[in-house]
Chains A and B, each alone.
Chain A
Amino acid sequence: MNEELSTLEALYRTMVRIRCFEDAAEAASQGGVSAFGEAAHGRAQVRGPLHLSTGQEAVAAGVCAQLRREDYLTSTHRGHGHTLAKGADLTRMMAELFGRASGCNGGKGGSMHIADFSVGMLGANGVVAAGLPIAVGAAHALKLQRRDAITACFFGDGAINRGPFLEALNWARVYRLPVLFVCEDNRWSATTESAVMTAGAGASARAQALDIAAERVDGNDVLAVHAAARRLVDAVRRGGGPRLLHAVTYRVKGHVSVDAAPYRDPAQVDAARRTDPIARARATYLALPGARARTLDAIDAEAAAEVRAAVAAAEAAPWPDAAAAFTDVQDTGAGVWR
C-alpha cells in the first residue's frame, strides 16, 4: 500500500476520532457549563468548563504521530485531542468527562485534567502555561536517567505571555533537554484576540531569541504539521536540545462550549471553517492515486460508532464512591480532617 495513503489515513483517523469525541462531549454538555453567566444544572452529563479543540485537530494528530508510547506529553485546558492522539483510551476519557468511576482519573479531574499516564500523557492543566515547567522537568529526568525518550509540550498562544514560558524555554536550552515545545496558536486567549495582547512576532521569535530553533507551520495542514514535527522530533531525539513548533490554527468554537463567541467577526470564523483540517485532509487524500472515498467513509463510521459506544458506556457507568474524595490526597496525614 502506498505509504502516503496510509500515513494520511492514520492522521485522518486521529482527527476524526477527536472531532467525534468532542462533538459528543459538546452535545452532552449543553446547559452544564457554569461559565459566561450560565449556571450548571443537573441535566447535563458533561458539566463544568469544556474547552473544545474543534478545527485544531491537525496539530494534535500531526505531532503525536511522531511520538512513541514512552515519550511524555503535557497539555493544556484544551487537551482532549492531544490525549486521544497520544493513545489514551477513548472510552475511559468519555467516562472521565461524565465524572464516572471508570474514567481515566476516576472522576476526580474531568475535562480540564484529562490524563493517561499509562501512555505518557501527564495531564491537561487548568492553568495556562503550567505544563511547560512540568514538561521540562520530565525531560530533565529523561536525560539524567539516560532514557531513550523525549517530552512534547503543548501550549497555546496565550501561554507565551506568562512567565513560565520564558523560564521553561530558558531552562530547556541551558540544559539541552529533549523537549519539543508546541505552540498550538488558535489566535484567541479566552475572549481576547491574542495578537492584540502580544508584543513582537510571537512564539517562534521568542524561542529563537533564546537560541531554540523553531519552525512555523500551517496548523490546519496535517501533512505539513506531520512533516515539521518529524524534523523537529528527530533533532530532539538526536540530542540536539529543545525545539519549538509554532502551529497556526484557529479556535472555531468559543472559549468554552457555551460561549457563542459573539465578540468575533463572523467572517474570521467562516474563513477558518473553509480551511477545516479534516476536510482538507480528505481532499488531499482523494487527490492521491489509488485513494478511495469509502476508505475515509469507513473511518468516519468507525469513529462515530466508537464514540456512540463510549457515551453509552459512560452513561451506564457508576459514580465514584463518596469516600473517593478522601483518597489519593497524600499518604502522610491521610484521612478525613476538618
Chain B
Amino acid sequence: MRMSYAQAAAAALALEMQARADIVVLGEDVGRGGIFGQYAGLQQRFGAERVIDTPISEAAILGAGVGMALAGLTPVVEMRVVDFALCGMDELVNQAAKNRFMFGGQGRVPMVVRMPIGIWDASAAQHSQSLEAWFAHLPGVVVVAPATPQDNASLLRAALACGDPVVYLEHKTLWATTGEVDDGEIATLGRARVRRRGTQLTLVSWSRQLIACKEACDALGAAGIAVELIDLATLWPWDRETVLESCARTGALLVVHEAVQVAGFGAEIAASAAEATGCRVRRLGAPRIPVGYAPVLEAQSRIGAADIAAAARALLG
C-alpha cells in the first residue's frame, strides 16, 4: 500500500497498539495527530488514556516514560524535534539509558523516544539539528534513523519489540515522502540496507541524506563509477558486517551525513573500516556551524549531490 513516511509510522503504531495493551503514547499535541501527522487517528481509536496529550514538559515526559516503563508499560515518547529533547537529557542519559545497568538488571526501560532530526526549511538553529552522534555515544540505548516509509513502519515495530530504550530519529523533511509499505513487516534492528550494488566505492549514509547520495550515485554511475550505497538504518548497533564486507571489496569508503562532520558518527564508521579493512576513507558532513536562517546561510549546512560526487572523485583519485 502506498503511504507517506508519517502514515507508515501511524499505521505501524496502530498495529502494535492493537496487539499490545502495554503501549501508550505521550507527548505534546499527539491527540491531534502530532505536529507532523505521525499519530493521526490514534487518539480517536485508542482513547486519551493511551494517547496522552502532555504539558510542554520535556523532562517530565521523558522521566514519566521511564517510570511508566518500570511499571510495565511500553511508552512511545514524542519530543517534537530533537532540539527540544535536550530539555530532558538527564531523563534520557542518566535515567533511561542507565537504569537497567546501575540497578543490576532489576528493571527494564522499554521505551521508544521519537525525536525528529534534520534541516527543516527556514527553521534555523534550534529546529534543524541532527544529533545522532550524541546518542550513538551513549551506552544503554539503541539508535534508529529510518530513511523510507517502509522502514518507518518496520523499524518502529522492531523498536517497540526490542525491550531497550530506543532513540528513534525520524527526519522532518521525510514526512511527506511516499512509497510502497507492507505494514506487516518487522525489521531486524542493526541491519543495514544495501540500496545500490557497486564495486568501486562504498558509500554509507542514513536518513534524508540518502536522497542526495542516490543522485550522486546516478551521476557517478554515468561517469562509469560503480558505487555501493548502504543505508545504515540503525546507527547503534550499526551493521559492521555489511559495511566492512563492502569496504573490503571496494577498498574505499565515503560516509556522508547531514550532521556536523566534526566528531560525527561518520568518523566512527570511517575509523572502524580503516582499522578492519585498510580501505581508504573519507567523511563528508556539515561544517561546524549552527544552521542559519537565510537561504544562503542554511545552504552552507546542506550536503548536496554535487558535494558527494566531488568527495567520491577525490577519494578515488
Contacts and interface: CB of A to CB of B under 8 A. Distances in A.
Interface of A: 72, 74, 103-109, 113, 115-118, 122-123, 125-127, 130, 132-142, 144-145, 151, 163-164, 167-168, 170-171, 174, 327-333, 337
B55 A332 contact: no
A332 to B, nearest CB: 5
Given A139-B67, A164-B60, 5 more contacts: A103-B104, A115-B103, A115-B106, A145-B73, A328-B101
B103 A123 contact: yes
Interface in B76-99: 90-91, 94-95, 99
Interface string B93-121: 01100011111111100000000000000
Contacts of B50: 144
B287 interface: no
B49 A117 contact: no
Given A163-B59, A171-B64, A330-B142, A134 B70 contact: yes
Contact of B71 (A123, A145, A328): A145
A108 B68 contact: no
A329 B100 contact: yes
A139 B64 CA distance: 9
Interface of B: 24, 49-50, 54-55, 57, 59-60, 62-73, 75, 90-91, 94-95, 99-107, 139-142, 162-165, 189-190, 236-237
A314 B236 CA distance: 38
A133 B91 contact: yes
A245 to B, nearest CB: 19
Residue among B106, B140, B142 having the largest count of chain A Cβ atoms under 10 Å: B106
Contacts of B103: 105, 108-109, 113, 115, 117, 123
Contacts, number: 154
Contact of B99 (A123, A141, A171): A123
Nearest to A133: B63
A107 B190 CA distance: 30
A174 B104 contact: no
Nearest to A118: B106
28 contacts: A104-B106, A115-B106, A116-B106, A117-B106, A122-B70, A125-B95, A133-B62, A133-B63, A133-B67, A134-B64, A136-B67, A137-B63, A137-B66, A138-B68, A139-B67, A141-B67, A141-B71, A144-B73, A163-B59, A167-B59, A168-B60, A170-B55, A328-B101, A329-B101, A329-B139, A330-B142, A332-B142, A332-B189
Nearest to A142: B71
Nearest to B57: A167
List the 6 closest A-B pairs by CB distance, nearest first.
Answer: A133-B63, A137-B67, A333-B237, A137-B64, A105-B104, A141-B71
B95 A130 contact: yes
Nearest to A170: B55
Contacts of B68: 137-138, 140-141
Nearest to A169: B60
A125 B96 CA distance: 12
Contacts of B71: 72, 137-138, 141-142, 145
Contact of A327 (B55, B72, B105): B105
Nearest to B71: A141
B101 A137 contact: no
